[in-house]
Amino acid sequence: AQTVTQSQPEMSVQEAETVTLSCTYDTSENNYYLFWYKQPPSRQMILVIRQEAYKQQNATENRFSVNFQKAAKSFSLKISDSQLGDTAMYFCACGSYQKVTFGTGTKLQVIP
Amino acid sequence: GAGVSQTPSNKVTEKGKYVELRCDPISGHTALYWYRQSLGQGPEFLIYFQGTGAADDSGLPNDRFFAVRPEGSVSTLKIQRTERGDSAVYLCASSRTSANTGELFFGEGSRLTVL
């Protein structure tokens, strides 16, 4: 079994500023992947960034980067130069075998 | 189609009725997932198909829920004797391989309301 915890139900950030969303997880698997998905009001979930647990180097994708602390089972998402289009729900997820488990989400509001 | 297609986008039904929700995955994707998302919650795993077979159905809440994927492409989630607690958005996702390693591509979901 695996669990994903997001302790920040809501966050806000000024446009062009940087924000960090927190996530902790627990899994008994040795091989697993971690994800951040974005869900705008349209409901369609979109992958933001992915991290292989066996890789020590933190993944980056343009303005999005992660801080992966394997021993602490922590996987935070940093959004730099926040844009109005970043306003959405953000879900942290952990995948092992055939199942991907999601957290409860963080609602991010980018303020102009 | 280019993306995952789900129909209907909205379904309102009465308690006790039977409901079918359809998912048409991205062409060539062998893995297909159903998730349920209640208001204010993250997606909750229901069932995973690899090809035609259900590889993991451990998330189905009870025997009123059933899903099929007879030809390894389109999948149908079937809910019998619906209850008010079944109200949620049902999300379908597909992946080229297994979603734990690859990207999940989601549809826009089917919002089910049971009155």
DSSP A31-57: S-EEEEEEE-TT---EEEEEEETT--S
Share of chain B above pLDDT 90, in %: 77
Is B99's pLDDT higher than 90? Answer: no
The SS3 assignment for A103 reads: coil
CA distance A57 to B21: 41
Q: What is the pLDDT of residue A56?
A: 87
Q: What is the pLDDT of residue B98?
A: 63
Q: Give the residue on B whose Cα is nearest the Cα of A48.
A: B103
CB contact under 8 A, A45 and B50: no
Task: Label residue B100 by pLDDT band (50, 70, 90).
Answer: low
CB contact under 8 A, B45 and A4: no
Average pLDDT over residues B71-91: 96
CB contact under 8 A, B42 and A44: no
Q: What's chain B's average pLDDT? A: 92
Is B1's pLDDT higher than 60? Answer: no
Q: What is the pLDDT of residue A96?
A: 73
CA distance B46 to B23: 14
How many of the other CB atoms lie within 10 Å of CB of A65?
17
Mutate to test the interface with B, among A33, A36, A45, A47 (most CBs of B within 10 A): A45
Mean pLDDT by 10-residue block, N- to C-terminus, for chain A (112 residues)?
A: 93 97 93 93 89 91 96 97 96 85 96 96
Tokens linked to B114: 């049971």
Average pLDDT over residues B92-113: 85
Question: Residue A99 in contact with residue B48, Cβ under 8 Å?
Answer: yes
User: Residue A41 is which amino acid?
Assistant: P
Q: A74-79 and A99-102 as β-strands: parallel, antiparallel, unpaired?
A: unpaired
The SS3 assignment for A106 reads: strand
Kindly state whether A4 is in contact with chain B, defined as any CB-CB distance less than 8 angstroms. yes
